[in-house]
A and B are shown apart, each in its own frame.
Chain A
Amino acid sequence: MQITGLNPDLEFARQTVAKLSNKGLKPEEIQDEMVLNQDLGIDSLQFIRLILELERKTARRIFNVQIIAQIKTFRDLCVAISAV
């Protein structure tokens, strides 16, 4: 199941995760329950890049330390983006 739907911010998140992942996945192959680190190979440095690119694209401050620490899966990331 994919929760990004037609939300352009979430679609951008999917595209960016696919770009930064070292697993060679296409955006449509990213599943909501995939763990960013283990399943998608987004390491801590790439994760910083991910949140910076998401905030720049959306022109919003989405993340803080508490939220970041709770993001494990792609679904968690989408929930954080949608909550703002």
Chain B
Amino acid sequence: MPQQFFDGWSRTVKSNLPFRLDPVQEQRIDELLFELLEDPDCVSLLREMDTAGIDQAVLLVIDFGLAYKNIELTIEEIHLAHKKLLNQSDRFLAFSNVDPRRGREGLDLFEKAVREWGFSGMKLYPPCGYSPDARILFPYYEICRELHLPVLTHIGPTTATLPFRHTQPQYVDDAAFHFPEVNFILGHAAVTHYQDAALLAQYRPNVFLDLSGFQTAINRNEFKKIIHWHLSRGLGRKLLFGTDWPIHRFWGNQRDWVEKFTALEPESLSPKEEMDDILGNNLLGILPRTERKYANYGA
């Protein structure tokens, strides 16, 4: 995570606390937040996935290279680090992200990632300064259409050092309209801007809603109401479970989040079959159908 991104995130967290911090406590918050992110080889993540009964997780590349200065790794190096994780474990999938303003070189990198390195989807991070409906993304969507790759785009606020413009569900509509064969996943939108997102998912067959960030809604006692909102609109096949690792590690582990989510079932908010769809089947239904050919298990 770039330092600038961390600084903005930390400032937001601290400004949302309902009490004043002294300088020592501010420093301590930074240390604890930094600890959250320390799992470069995903060892802790795999351990928690085992405990939680999670078979697979999607790892997301984010290209901050044009939004921030002095990024330590090139975007190609970041992709290669994810490729290494893919090669080490079949428990991971990865989505590629290249800032579309990188031109031909960026498109070539994306194509290599999805055609040769085993990336199975595209990630967008509009706070970096582009909209999901920007025409410069359409060549990427053409590739996604050809290879049946889903596109996951961030929805809602993020770190205070990036603009929130283009993070509303409406900015996905034009892309979803022009590429009806491409499935668009609205990251966090099952809980952030969820009413607008639900409307889009209701009327665009190729729009899906990711639940990651639901931990915040649970903390605010809003989650049951939100889930009911979606299910009462027939969106059980459009919801995708996610936990936004490692952001919410502070409040619980992967098992906690699975348990809190599945606890909805006995309360008749969601029947078992619908729960299984949300926990995995819905995503499996929109991932590319071809088997991974790149994995080098045990290497």
Most buried by B among A44, A56, A63: A44
Residues of A within 8 A of B16 (CB): 45
When the two chains form their complex, are residues A65 and B219 in contact, meaning their CB atoms are under 8 A apart? no
Nearest B-chain residue to A70, judged by Cβ: B253
What is the size, in residues, of chain A's interface with B at 8 Å between Cβ atoms?
15
Main SS at interface, chain B: helix
What is the size, in residues, of chain B's interface with A at 8 Å between Cβ atoms?
20
Which residues of A does B touch, CB under 8 Å?
A: 43-49, 52, 55-56, 63-65, 68-69
Residues of B within 8 A of A48 (CB): 17, 29
Residues of A within 8 A of B36 (CB): 65
When the two chains form their complex, are residues A69 and B253 in contact, meaning their CB atoms are under 8 A apart? yes
Residues of A within 8 A of B251 (CB): 44, 47, 69
In angstroms, how far is the closest chain A Cβ from the Cβ of B163? Answer: 26
Cα-based distance from A55 to B285 in the complex (angstroms):
48
Main SS at interface, chain A: helix
Nearest B-chain residue to A48, judged by Cβ: B17
Residues of B within 8 A of A65 (CB): 32, 35-36, 38, 249-250
Residues of A within 8 A of B249 (CB): 65, 69
A interface footprint on B25-48 (CB within 8 Å = 1, 0 otherwise): 100110010011010000000000
In angstroms, how far is the closest chain A Cβ from the Cβ of B154? Answer: 22
When the two chains form their complex, are residues B18 and A64 in contact, meaning their CB atoms are under 8 A apart? no
Per the 8 Å Cβ criterion, residues 143-171 of B in contact with A are none
Residues of A within 8 A of B25 (CB): 52, 56
When the two chains form their complex, are residues A45 and B250 in contact, meaning their CB atoms are under 8 A apart? no
Residues of A within 8 A of B17 (CB): 45, 48-49
Nearest B-chain residue to A52, judged by Cβ: B25
Nearest A-chain residue to B18, judged by Cβ: A45
When the two chains form their complex, are residues A52 and B21 in contact, meaning their CB atoms are under 8 A apart? yes
When the two chains form their complex, are residues A43 and B219 in contact, meaning their CB atoms are under 8 A apart? yes
Cα-based distance from A18 to B230 in the complex (angstroms):
37
> Is B103 an interface residue, CB under 8 A from the partner?
no
In angstroms, how far is the closest chain A Cβ from the Cβ of B191? Answer: 15
Cα-based distance from A44 to B217 in the complex (angstroms):
12
Nearest B-chain residue to A68, judged by Cβ: B250
> Is B203 an interface residue, CB under 8 A from the partner?
no
Residues of A within 8 A of B23 (CB): none
Cα-based distance from A65 to B18 in the complex (angstroms):
21
Residues of B within 8 A of A52 (CB): 21, 25, 28-29
Contact of B250 among A43, A44, A55, A56 (CB under 8 A): A44
